[in-house]
Amino acid sequence: MLLREVGYARPATVEEALSLLAGNDGARALAGGQTLLNVMKQRAASPEVLVDLGKLAELRLVGVQGMTLDIGAMVTLSALMRSSEVEVSRPILAEVAATVADVQVRNRGTLGGNICVNDPTNHFPPLLVALDATMTILSEDGERTVSVEDFFVGVFETAVREGELLTRVSVPAGGGGDGMSGVTLGAHGTYIANAAASVDDGRWRIALGCVAAVPVRATLVESRLSGVDVDEADVRAAVEGLGETLDPPSDVHASADYRRSLTETSVVRAVLQAAERASG
Amino acid sequence: MSVNEPITSAVVTVTVNGTESEHEVPVRRLLVHFLRDDLDLTGTHIGCDTGSCGACTVHLDGVAVKSCAVLAVQADGATVMTVEGLAGEELTPLQRSFHEHHGLQCGYCTPGMLMSASALLAENPSPSEDEVKVALQGNICRCTGYWNIVEAVVAVGKGEAA
Ligand SMILES: Cc1cc2nc3c(=O)[nH]c(=O)nc-3n(C[C@H](O)[C@H](O)[C@H](O)COP(=O)(O)OP(=O)(O)OC[C@H]3O[C@@H](n4cnc5c(N)ncnc54)[C@H](O)[C@@H]3O)c2cc1C
């Protein structure tokens, strides 16, 4: 399909990218383009200028600094799957990357793009909430860091403002045990419901996707599980009543009630997976 | 090469199937249209045009991508291989295997299937059935002829293609 006419720049440095974003009305970052180019075809987005981040090698770095795993915003999902740093320090990120869409989309789609889109069905927003990630955002005025909970603002909306770039996602290296589970359309399709869970020293973080505009923390379940050595019966008991506290959408794939039920089941599975890994 | 000021058309240099070519293209031109309309390489098909069906799959710097979700300007300086670039004088073992296993019906998805399968075989020369299925997840066969396609790719890995 023919796109609307659009300007294009391919900066060689992050500084150039920021000045292009700040200096051009309607400028927008182009990462892997897997979402952006498709919504431009539908005219759902009409940027005036695309600032292609493709040549910014410093945004493609993955590294461990002390107790923190830093992942550049332009790291593709395929690169996450192959990264030895990710495998050693937080393998759930690679596992989840491997279940997003298909090989071709993973070869171009980036971690930064996945979360900047903040589609409520996307895989990484709830996972990064469970992992207690921190996002680094850069503008011409300098750098700021945002906690994962402040990062997701609404559907397709994040804390990244006009003229800014997400440069890096950081998660604690190591951790106790992580899990993610859900129900998808087809083997590696879009999520209908999901939950991500992470436990460290008896302290839980559990996040739900697909039920609201932004990932939802299941704080009640977290506190019920806190400090206990969980078995399946405990987890089922802790999850009881969670669905009633949620207000998920109804659509062609699932009614709100069915989504409540799928979400509870997803939490049980994600928690058991995390608990098993924490003990193993 | 970097582009420091917004432009709406650009001269791109792309090496396609071993031949370097230079073309002026509007920024909004998708890679798939560049291949089909500017280079007349119509083997790469447009299926859904939403990044879902994989009919437009090509190799960009050696990895499988959907060319309907890449701008031609993003391929500036890159190496592209399309289905036309697979065979030399003779068909490749993969192409022969598709023929032998009847791995196509209407043929519309075939170029994309071949490009995804050849990317897999380059990395993993003897994939299992499950590995083939994962590698072909991004390619839809609207005739639903998946069994023979998967068999054709597995057979290449086993050295069974003639
Ligand atoms: C067929 C198909 C199925 C898919 N299924 C799934 C799925 O099931 N689950 C899932 O999680 N994802 C899915 N995706 C989405 C995929 O993961 C996308 O690649 C991803 O969401 C967008 O990443 P991108 O790098 O392509 O970003 P782009 O499309 O380039 O950008 C997306 C948006 O983010 C902004 N942006 C990107 N990077 C930055 C940055 N560093 N700083 C500031 N803004 C930035 C852009 O301006 C744009 O608005 C699917 C995609 C396709 C095509």
What architecture is domain B9-85?
A: Roll (3.10)
Q: Where in chain A is the domain with CATH 3.30.465.10?
A: 60-172
Topology of the domain comprising A7-52 = 3.30.43
ipTM for the predicted complex? 0.97
**Is some CB atom of chain B closer than 8 A to the CB atom of A37?**
yes
Place of tokens 């009847």: B102
Topology of the domain comprising A177-279 = Enolase-like; domain 1 (3.30.390)
A127-161 pLDDT, tens digit per residue, is 999 999 999 999 999 999 999 999 999 988 999 99
A212-257 pLDDT, tens digit per residue, is 999 999 999 999 999 888 899 999 999 999 999 999 999 999 999 9
What average pLDDT does the segment A70-75 reach?
98
pLDDT category of residue A2 using cuts at 50, 70 and 90: confident
Span A60-172: which CATH code? 3.30.465.10
pLDDT at B40: 98
Average pLDDT score over chain B:
96
Q: Is A38 in contact with B6 (Cβ distance < 8 A)?
A: no
C-beta of residue B103 within 8 angstroms of C-beta of residue B154: no
Q: Which of A3, A24, A104 sits opposite B66 (nearest CB)?
A: A104
DSSP line for B87-128: -SSS--HHHHHHHHTT--SS-TTHHHHHHHHHHHHHH-SS--
In eight-state DSSP terms, residue A244 is G
Q: Is the pLDDT of residue B92 over 90?
A: yes
Q: Which residues does a 6 A CB cutoff place in the pocket of ligand 1? A: A 28-36, 38, 53, 73, 100-101, 105, 108-110, 112-114, 116-117, 122-124, 160, 165-166, 190; B 51-52
Q: Is A8 in contact with B5 (Cβ distance < 8 A)?
A: no
pLDDT category of residue A1 using cuts at 50, 70 and 90: confident
Q: Among A40-49, A53-62, B39-48, which stretch is predicted with the lowest mean pLDDT?
A: A40-49
Q: Which of A12, A37, A41 sits opposite B2 (nearest CB)?
A: A12
What average pLDDT does the segment A99-115 reach?
98
Q: Is the pLDDT of residue B162 over 80?
A: no
Q: pTM for this one? A: 0.97
B28-37 pLDDT, tens digit per residue, is 999 999 999 9
Which CATH class for the B93-157 domain? mainly alpha
Beta bridge pairs of residue A182: A194
C-beta of residue B86 within 8 angstroms of C-beta of residue B54: no
Q: Where in chain B is the domain with CATH 3.10.20.30?
A: 9-85
Which segments within B17-115 are labelled E, that is strand?
19-26, 57-60, 63-66, 79-81
Q: Where in chain A is the domain with CATH 3.30.43.10?
A: 7-52
